[in-house]
Amino acid sequence: MINTIESPRHNVTKSPEKTGVLVTWCPGDLTRKKNGFTVLEALIALSIIAVIITSTFMIFKGATNSWRHGEARAHVYQTVRSVCDIVIRDVSQAATAKGLGPVADAPLFSGTTDSMLFVTPMGDSRELIEVSYRLEEGRFNRRAAETIDGDPETCDYNEDLSDEIDEVQFAYLADGQWQVSWNSAVTKRLPQAVKMDIVLQKERFEIIIKIEAVN
């Protein structure tokens, strides 16, 4: 005869022929709760974290590059604007009066593709001065002299408007055609307008300045 003892968790069977206790595990023990993560779960979690970190870094890097590019462009436009404000003020008011320079029957205005010289009022006053512009060794230079003699080396005021401009080219409008040079001693007049091409940090800007006394 076999005696069976009921256990809350186990079915324990005692046999008279054999000593000892046989323990039969109940099905609930097969589904016992696990503790911690498996290696596979840890690898998946690390992979997800790595993807998130990489994506965040790329977004941050892109935003930083965009901000720097925007700052650089703003600096370029500010530099060009400050230079052009001065040149436009001078060129637009170029004097047409004859006999101011070495030629008695002509106004004073001479220019090439990389420099120009003319007479213009000094600031808000009506006093005339001789002004010249040129690009020298990466510096866009403005010179002004109270002595009007047609010599760009005559200088009372010397100012570098910018040391960042890569290239400056001038052209001069006459009868609807742009000329690469101008000499008022020959033409006996001023150009109708001056075109200035500026290259700064690989960006090109074109400014056309009308001379008020001619137009």
Tens digit of each residue's pLDDT, the chain (215 residues): 544 445 454 444 454 554 555 545 455 544 445 566 788 888 888 888 888 888 888 888 888 877 777 777 888 889 889 999 999 999 999 988 777 767 777 788 999 999 999 999 887 777 889 999 999 888 899 999 988 888 888 888 899 998 888 999 999 999 999 999 999 989 999 999 999 999 988 889 999 999 987 65
- 22 and 97: one domain? no
Count of helices and strands (H, E) across the chain? 2, 13
136 Cβ neighbours under 8 A, 6+ residues apart: none
Domains held by the chain: number: 2
Determine how many CB atoms are found less than 10 A away from the CB of residue 131: 23
pTM: 0.67
User: 174: closest CA among 103, 98, 84, 109?
Assistant: 109
- 96 and 19: one domain? no
- 108 and 202: one domain? yes
187 within 8 A of 178, measured Cβ to Cβ: no
Whether 51 is covered by a domain: the verdict is: no
DSSP state of 211: -
- 12 and 88: one domain? no
- 175 and 103: one domain? yes
User: What is the domain extent for residue 134?
Assistant: 83-210
